């Protein structure tokens, strides 16, 4: 199998605080992980591509200083939403690509609500 | 960012009916994927298509990769209640560019 987990599954925070979301590949090594954002009733939009041991590549319009991505190991990538504001409230989903494959396996998502 | 156009946007059908949805793009993709997303969860891969013209089945699901490489369709036969959800197509260029571009989604509702 190819299982990807995310933690936490949901988080509520106050405006101005930072929130860290973890994405783990549980039974495989992921050379590349992707972070998506999904607003209600909308599609998934790619935020950034994260390769182990290197800086993430951000999509146009995504602020790299606001959405900090760290991919320190082959099984873990983290997304930190810094100084979160209500407009950052969304469903954040990661995916992981198994080494040698081009198939992305998706995590269950993290729902962020910023008050 | 770019999105693929998916139609219909939503469908209301009765259990047992067949379902057809399609996805079109202004640019070509080398891989087409179909995902299903249940509320509050991540998308789950249903079918992957790697070759123009390819027709692939997975149980009651059948998908085709358009010969122009700019479109794909998904059929679901004899729908059942657990088919309810949102279906997304996704295109991938591949060959080192693994980014996925997702469609706008088709929401399937089954009327009892």
Q: Which of A44, A60, A102 is closest, CB to CB, to B102? A: A44
Beta bridge partners of B24: B5, B71
Q: Compute the distance between CA of residue A90 and CA of residue A102 in angstroms, rounded to an integer.
A: 26
Q: Compute the distance between CA of residue A13 and CA of residue A114 in angstroms, rounded to an integer.
A: 5
Q: Which token pair is B77?
A: 């036969």
pLDDT 10s digits, B27-43:
999 999 999 999 999 99
CB pair distance less than 8 Å for B44 and A106:
yes
- pLDDT of B1: 58
Residue carrying structure tokens 């399609």: B22
CB pair distance less than 8 Å for B99 and A34:
yes
pLDDT 10s digits, B64-101:
999 999 999 999 999 999 999 999 999 998 777 788 99
Side-chain-facing half-sphere of A76: CA atoms under 13 Å = 8
Q: How crowded is residue B62: how many other Cβ atoms within 10 Å of its Cβ? A: 17
CA B41 to chain centre: 17
Which residues of chain A have a Cβ shorter than 8 Å from any chain B Cβ? Answer: 4, 6, 32, 34, 42-46, 49, 59-61, 91, 93, 95, 97, 102-109, 111
Tell me B82's DSSP state.
Answer: G
What is the bridge-based pairing of β-strands B10-14 and B106-111? parallel
**Nearest residue on chain A to B42, alpha-carbon basis:** A108
pLDDT in tens, chain A (115 residues): 689 999 999 999 999 999 999 999 999 998 899 999 999 999 999 999 998 888 899 999 999 999 999 988 999 999 999 999 999 999 999 999 887 777 889 999 999 999 9
Q: Which token pair is A28?
A: 């495989």
Q: Which of A32, A59, A105 is closest, CB to CB, to B98? A: A32
What is the bridge-based pairing of β-strands A110-114 and A10-13? parallel
Q: Compute the distance between CA of residue A113 and CA of residue A86 in angstroms, rounded to an integer.
A: 7
A22: buried, middle or exposed (CB in 10 Å: 19+, 13-18, 0-12)?
Answer: middle
Q: Compute the distance between CA of residue A14 and CA of residue A16 in angstroms, rounded to an integer.
A: 6
Is the CB of residue B52 less than 8 Å from the CB of residue B32?
no
Is the CB of residue B38 less than 8 Å from the CB of residue B100?
no
């Amino acid at each position: 199998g190819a299982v990807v987990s995310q933690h936490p599954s949901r988080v509520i925070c106050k405006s101005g605080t930072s929130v860290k979301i973890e994405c783990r590949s549980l039974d495989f090594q992921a050379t590349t992980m992707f972070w998506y954002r999904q607003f209600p009733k909308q599609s998934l939009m790619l935020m950034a591509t994260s390769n182990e041991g290197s800086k993430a590549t951000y999509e146009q319009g995504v602020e790299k200083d606001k959405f900090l991505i760290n991919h320190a190991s082959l099984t873990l990538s983290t997304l930190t939403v810094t100084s979160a504001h209500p407009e950052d409230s969304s469903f954040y989903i990661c995916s992981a690509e198994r080494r040698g494959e081009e198939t992305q396996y998706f995590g269950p998502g993290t729902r962020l609500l910023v008050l | 960012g770019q999105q693929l156009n998916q139609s219909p946007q939503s469908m209301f059908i009765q259990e047992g009916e067949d379902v057809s949805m399609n996805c079109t793009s202004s640019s070509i993709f080398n891989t087409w994927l179909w995902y299903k997303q249940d509320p509050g969860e991540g998308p789950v891969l249903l079918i992957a298509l790697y070759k123009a013209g390819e027709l692939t089945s997975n149980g009651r699901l059948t998908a085709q990769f358009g010969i122009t490489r700019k479109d794909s369709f998904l059929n679901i036969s004899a729908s059942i209640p657990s088919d309810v959800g949102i279906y997304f197509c996704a295109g991938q260029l591949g060959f080192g560019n693994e980014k996925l571009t997702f469609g706008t989604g088709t929401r399937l509702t089954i009327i009892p």
